[in-house]
Chains A and B, each alone.
Chain A
Amino acid sequence: MKRVLWSVLLIVAILVAMVPMAVAAPARQGDAGFDYIVVKDDWLSKLALKYLGDVFAYPAIAYYTNQKAAEDPSYAKITDYDLIEIGWKIYIPSPEEAQAYFATRAQTLGVTEGETIKIGALAPLSAPGSVTGGQAMKAAFEIALEEINEAGGVLGKPVELILVDTEGLPERGTAAMERLITQEKVVGVVGEYHSAVGLTAKEVAHKYGIPIIFAETWNDNITASLYPEVFRIAPLSSEVANLDANFIQWLGAKKVVIMTENTGYGIPAAEQTTKKLEERGIEAVTFSADIGTQDFSGIIERIKAENPDLILVLLTGETSYNFEQQAAEAGIGPQDVMMICNQVADDSESFWKNVPDGNLCFYRKVGLPPVLWNEKTKAFAEKYMERTGKTGVESYAMEAYDSLWLMATAINNAGSTDPQAIIEALENIEYEGVLGTITFPYNSKNPPSEAGVEDKWWHQFPDFAAVFIQYQEPGQPSSEAPVVYPEKFQTAPPILP
């Protein structure tokens, strides 16, 4: 008996925890619609909650009452949701009628009809995803959200951001998108860090016709499928490979070892870079490792035996730190051969803690170099560093921030939450963000095939800036580390080992 009691108690506890969901589900009261005379202390949302089970269903009452009023003057005409008078005769629709109303509204006007405009966001917040990246993006989203709402929100309503954890898993990405679009009824989606998730998320966005702006997914195929809903402000993997190859050539390396992770980001990036390097007559050998590999000593000895002039690290997260520090300890660190460390090195506090021997590391930074930072970038950087306690701003934080602002701006430009209108607004947008002026020049009016560029440029922000930075003193904060390439932005010449 006691055991049964325990079981029942625990199950009840679980169920109670699920109450928020139950509340959100519409409760079905009366079956048919009916007339109602307004009494003291009534207001529309209260009636909507009472009879339709949903506080936000009041526009349906107003809509049906106004329809009746057009035929029968005994009904009141509601012009202001906040104003109803005692004695007015109004019509309370049945839940079915109310749903039908919202369904048609959703088709004609976009999906949201409520107190807020809902925008969905994707980020990896738990393992096996890159939690570091996800948490940085989360902080950036929160800053952007506060700013948007302080500036009066979108279409006069506050923005509600629904951030969903994708765990870095493609199948979770599908589930997250389904939830955002069909359950939360968001008008657009922004964010995501992992390419593998982006590749499945874009399919769901396409299925429901909801616009999505990818923040940090580099895989070329995401835009190359030419879906009208898909936009991207992150750089293209193949273009980054090109940049890397240019930089490596400029440094004068003849033999390169690429140390990559075997993921949807690492493998194509290594292949593309190898191709670009071969075009320039530079030899490249690729080693790949599982994410989460700790001990690199075996691989490092092999890299040593290859005798490279330069090592390009395409590992991410703590795996890259492990490799860089162990390479330095084994005598092929950045002070012994040229090393392009992974971009996570930009988080200088974390970098110096994990790679104390990492001086002279180069790393690629996507986004404007600090010399070209506009007012917005500076303001964001200040807020971001204050909020996170970091000493620099990662590119994916900037991209996350811009992606949310971009979506909000597009909705405002469109003047409605209709997905088609938002997509059109995005195609025509010229938005001044922390990454620079964002535009999408290859769009439905100027498709890549006609413009004579590859399909990957579709709905792609083309002018993403990327610079190479070098740590030139141990413990240097990333904001003070000089830009060494491209030469027009150079603030100090590179120090070669």
Chain B
Amino acid sequence: MNRNALWIWLPLGLGVVVMLLAPLALVSRPYIMHIAIVAYFYAILASSWALLAGYGGQFSFGHMAFMAIGAYTTGLFAKFVRLTTVPTGVCPEITVGSYTLFLLNPVTAGEPTCLDIAKATMPAGTLIYRPPIYVGILLGVLLGGVFGFLIGVLVLRLRQAYLALFTIGFSEILRVALNAEIAITDGPNGLELPPLFPKGVTIFGMYFDATSKIPPYYVMLFLFLGSMVFMHWLASSRYGLFFRSIREDEEAAAALGVNIVRYKVLLFVITSMIAAAAGAVEAHYIGVITPNILLILQMSLVIAMAVIGGMESLVGAAIGAILIEFALEFLRQNITIGPWTIDMTDWRLVFFGLLLMLTLRFQNNGLIYPIIQRLTRAGVTEEIAARRRLVPETVQEGEG
């Protein structure tokens, strides 16, 4: 057993150490840092989708919608909510202690907001604050959970294709609404967000300004590692078993006393919150969020990452996502084979689609998961063989 544990923990531990130390080597290459941050973002989405679909069998196409809910919540919070020391008297507001929390009214560009109107009458020395970024992110996560709960309850009865269609419908409606309500969301232009640390941040005596990539790198990395640890714990706990039993046979699981409603909804809430958190952090990091992230193409990217990595393995899905994000970025150069030059801007997604189909057809468990499996089972087969030699007369049961 020790040997197996070593085989799986050694590469994983090494991987984590590399990820933690990477900024030291990459400090002069912000572009690679950027891809790494985006890759972790996709890894969070792919692995949480793998938990939802691979473990729980809930084939949702609405994962990006929860991500967008997280991102837009914190974006709108940063855009419309302000704190002052003096009531404005014009904006919708509530007073909390010595502060007044108020909402700005949506206006078209160039017109004054209610704050601009109120400023004229405010006494000198009035302070106006933006509420802290993390409040918005937490709010986004919370709202992601609320929507996850609602959708989870609504889709209880729906399975497979019905569920897929319902979630596509949900995310399309959300996309169209975000696109059309320009006064609030800025429409296709995208909602601009302040950076994660607007005033910069000091860690261990080192100062990083708002544009530095190192703080967001670690924020995203810790979010990624944290959610991986949490999801891994969840999947290997009792709950994981329940999730899988629901996936395999709902009726049987219910008959055996698994509270299907509770676990299905719980699964939706948890994965939605993780997606919303990833979305909120990513949106602050990029600085802009557009409704186009809700296009089915983007969702299919996440699904493909999870599938190619291995849908039934959280780690597999995450590694798949990181590899594919890097591959898609670096495969943009033209490739010349003999007399033909292949323009990879056009063709990379073709190869990607082909890879997805072939993986599904010939490597049902994805490309990464079998390797992990192989590593963890390196000793198991020998062990089983040894046991079989010891007790040859036992009837061997089918291996699962």
User: Which chain B positions have C-beta within 8 A of A263?
Assistant: 187-189
> Across the A-B interface, how many residue pairs have beta carbons closer than 8 Å?
111
Q: Is A21 an interface residue (CB 8 A)?
A: yes
User: Which chain A positions have C-beta within 8 A of B367?
Assistant: 6-7, 10-11
CB-CB contacts below 8 Å: B243-260 with A: none
Mark each residue of chain A from 1 to 24: 1 if its CB lies under 8 Å from any CB of chain B, else 0: 001101110110010011011000
Q: From DSSP, what is the main secondary structure of chain A's interface residues?
A: helix
User: Which chain B positions have C-beta within 8 A of A207?
Assistant: 211
CA distance A182 to B286 in the complex (A): 16
User: Which chain B positions have C-beta within 8 A of A203?
Assistant: 287
CA distance A4 to B38 in the complex (A): 28
User: Which chain A positions have C-beta within 8 A of B176?
Assistant: 290
User: Which chain A positions have C-beta within 8 A of B232?
Assistant: none
Within 8 Å by CB of A125, from B287, B293, B345, lies B345
Q: How distant is B264 from chain A, measured CB to nearest CB, in Å?
A: 31
Q: How distant is A210 from chain B, measured CB to nearest CB, in Å?
A: 13
Q: How distant is A111 from chain B, measured CB to nearest CB, in Å?
A: 12
Q: Is A53 an interface residue (CB 8 A)?
A: no
CA distance A463 to B332 in the complex (A): 37
Q: From DSSP, what is the main secondary structure of chain B's interface residues?
A: helix
Stretch with Cβ within 8 A of B (4 or more), from A171-179, A352-360, A383-391: A171-179
Q: Is B331 an interface residue (CB 8 A)?
A: yes
CA distance A171 to B298 in the complex (A): 13
Residues A7 and B363 in contact, CB atoms below 8 Å apart:
yes
Stretch with Cβ within 8 A of A (4 or more), from B27-35, B55-63, B93-101, B138-146: B27-35
Q: Is A200 an interface residue (CB 8 A)?
A: yes
Residues B38 and A175 in contact, CB atoms below 8 Å apart:
yes
Q: Is A262 an interface residue (CB 8 A)?
A: yes
Residues B345 and A10 in contact, CB atoms below 8 Å apart:
no
Residues A178 and B363 in contact, CB atoms below 8 Å apart:
no
Q: Is B346 an interface residue (CB 8 A)?
A: yes
Within 8 Å by CB of B368, from A7, A21, A164, A169, lies A7
Within 8 Å by CB of A196, from B108, B189, B293, B374, lies B189
User: Which chain A positions have C-beta within 8 A of B108?
Assistant: 271
CA distance A99 to B25 in the complex (A): 13
Within 8 Å by CB of A3, from B109, B211, B287, B363, lies B363
User: Which chain A positions have C-beta within 8 A of B346?
Assistant: 125-126
CA distance A278 to B331 in the complex (A): 51
Residues B187 and A7 in contact, CB atoms below 8 Å apart:
no
Residues B331 and A169 in contact, CB atoms below 8 Å apart:
no
Q: How distant is A227 from chain B, measured CB to nearest CB, in Å?
A: 14
Mark each residue of chain A from 322 to 340: 1 if its CB lies under 8 Å from any CB of chain B, else 0: 0000000000000000000
Residues B374 and A200 in contact, CB atoms below 8 Å apart:
no
Q: How distant is B99 from chain A, measured CB to nearest CB, in Å?
A: 31
Residues A169 and B287 in contact, CB atoms below 8 Å apart:
no
Residues A183 and B179 in contact, CB atoms below 8 Å apart:
no
Q: Is A494 an interface residue (CB 8 A)?
A: no
Q: A6-B362, A174-B288 are in contact. Are A182 and B30 (CB under 8 A)?
A: yes
User: Which chain B positions have C-beta within 8 A of A369?
Assistant: none
Q: Quick one: closest B residue to A18, CB to CB?
A: B330
User: Which chain B positions have C-beta within 8 A of A264?
Assistant: 187-190
Q: How distant is A217 from chain B, measured CB to nearest CB, in Å?
A: 12
Q: Quick one: closest B residue to A3, CB to CB?
A: B370
Residues B289 and A171 in contact, CB atoms below 8 Å apart:
yes
Number of A residues whose C-beta is below 8 Å from B? Answer: 43
Q: Quick one: closest A residue to B293, CB to CB?
A: A171
Q: A170-B290, A174-B287, A196-B188 are in contact. Are A4 and B31 (CB under 8 A)?
A: no
Mark each residue of chain A from 252 to 274: 1 if its CB lies under 8 Å from any CB of chain B, else 0: 00000000001110011001000
Residues B190 and A196 in contact, CB atoms below 8 Å apart:
yes
Q: How distant is B224 from chain A, measured CB to nearest CB, in Å?
A: 19
Q: A169-B290, A263-B188 are in contact. Are A11 and B31 (CB under 8 A)?
A: no
Residues B355 and A10 in contact, CB atoms below 8 Å apart:
yes
Q: Is A145 an interface residue (CB 8 A)?
A: no
CA distance A199 to B295 in the complex (A): 21
Residues A199 and B189 in contact, CB atoms below 8 Å apart:
yes
Which of A164, A171, A195, A291: most chain B CB closer than 10 A? A171
Q: Is A128 an interface residue (CB 8 A)?
A: yes
Q: Is A424 an interface residue (CB 8 A)?
A: no
Residues B326 and A18 in contact, CB atoms below 8 Å apart:
yes
Q: How distant is A104 from chain B, measured CB to nearest CB, in Å?
A: 13
Q: Is B323 an interface residue (CB 8 A)?
A: yes
Q: Is B292 an interface residue (CB 8 A)?
A: yes
Q: Is A165 an interface residue (CB 8 A)?
A: yes
Residues B332 and A165 in contact, CB atoms below 8 Å apart:
yes
Residues B31 and A179 in contact, CB atoms below 8 Å apart:
yes
Q: Is B135 an interface residue (CB 8 A)?
A: no
CB-CB contacts below 8 Å: B143-158 with A: none
Residues A7 and B29 in contact, CB atoms below 8 Å apart:
no
User: Which chain A positions have C-beta within 8 A of B355?
Assistant: 10
Within 8 Å by CB of A170, from B190, B211, B368, B371, lies B190
Q: Is B114 an interface residue (CB 8 A)?
A: no
User: Which chain A positions have C-beta within 8 A of B189?
Assistant: 170, 195-196, 199, 263-264, 267
Q: A3-B363, A6-B363 are in contact. Are A178 and B290 (CB under 8 A)?
A: no
Q: A14-B323, A170-B189, A196-B189 are in contact. Are A178 and B109 (CB under 8 A)?
A: no
Q: A17-B327, A18-B331, A21-B330 are in contact. Are A178 and B30 (CB under 8 A)?
A: yes
Q: Quick one: closest B residue to A164, CB to CB?
A: B332
Q: Quick one: closest B residue to A175, CB to CB?
A: B34
Q: A7-B371, A11-B367, A264-B189 are in contact. Are A128 and B292 (CB under 8 A)?
A: yes
User: Which chain B positions have C-beta within 8 A of A175?
Assistant: 34-35, 38
CB-CB contacts below 8 Å: A215-266 with B: 262-264
Q: Is B174 an interface residue (CB 8 A)?
A: no
CA distance A199 to B109 in the complex (A): 14
CB-CB contacts below 8 Å: A147-182 with B: 164-165, 169-171, 174-175, 178-179, 182
Q: Is B333 an interface residue (CB 8 A)?
A: yes
Q: How distant is A260 from chain B, measured CB to nearest CB, in Å?
A: 11
Q: Is B180 an interface residue (CB 8 A)?
A: yes
User: Which chain A positions have C-beta within 8 A of B179?
Assistant: 262, 290
CA distance A92 to B125 in the complex (A): 62
CA distance A112 to B168 in the complex (A): 47
Mark each residue of chain A from 399 to 436: 1 if its CB lies under 8 Å from any CB of chain B, else 0: 00000000000000000000000000000000000000
Residues A4 and B290 in contact, CB atoms below 8 Å apart:
no
Q: A171-B290, A182-B30 are in contact. Are A20 and B333 (CB under 8 A)?
A: yes
Within 8 Å by CB of A262, from B180, B333, B365, lies B180
Residues A183 and B362 in contact, CB atoms below 8 Å apart:
no
| Pairs of residues from A and B, 8 with the lowest C-beta to C-beta distance, nearest first | A183-B31, A264-B189, A182-B30, A7-B367, A182-B31, A170-B190, A21-B330, A170-B288
Q: A3-B365, A17-B327, A18-B330 are in contact. List 19 more A-B contacts (CB 8 A).
A: A3-B370, A4-B371, A7-B368, A11-B323, A14-B327, A17-B330, A20-B333, A125-B345, A165-B345, A170-B290, A171-B286, A174-B286, A178-B31, A196-B190, A262-B188, A263-B188, A263-B189, A267-B189, A290-B176
Provide a sorted-by-A list of 29 A–B residue pairs whose CB atoms are within 8 angstroms. A3-B365, A6-B367, A8-B371, A10-B367, A11-B323, A17-B330, A18-B327, A20-B330, A99-B28, A169-B290, A169-B292, A170-B190, A174-B287, A174-B288, A183-B31, A183-B32, A195-B189, A196-B188, A199-B189, A200-B288, A203-B287, A262-B179, A262-B182, A262-B187, A262-B188, A264-B188, A264-B190, A267-B189, A268-B109
Residues on B lying within 8 angstroms of A by beta carbon are 28-32, 34-35, 38, 108-109, 176, 179-180, 182, 187-190, 211, 286-290, 292-293, 295, 297, 323, 326-327, 329-333, 345-346, 349, 355, 359, 362-363, 365-368, 370-371, 374
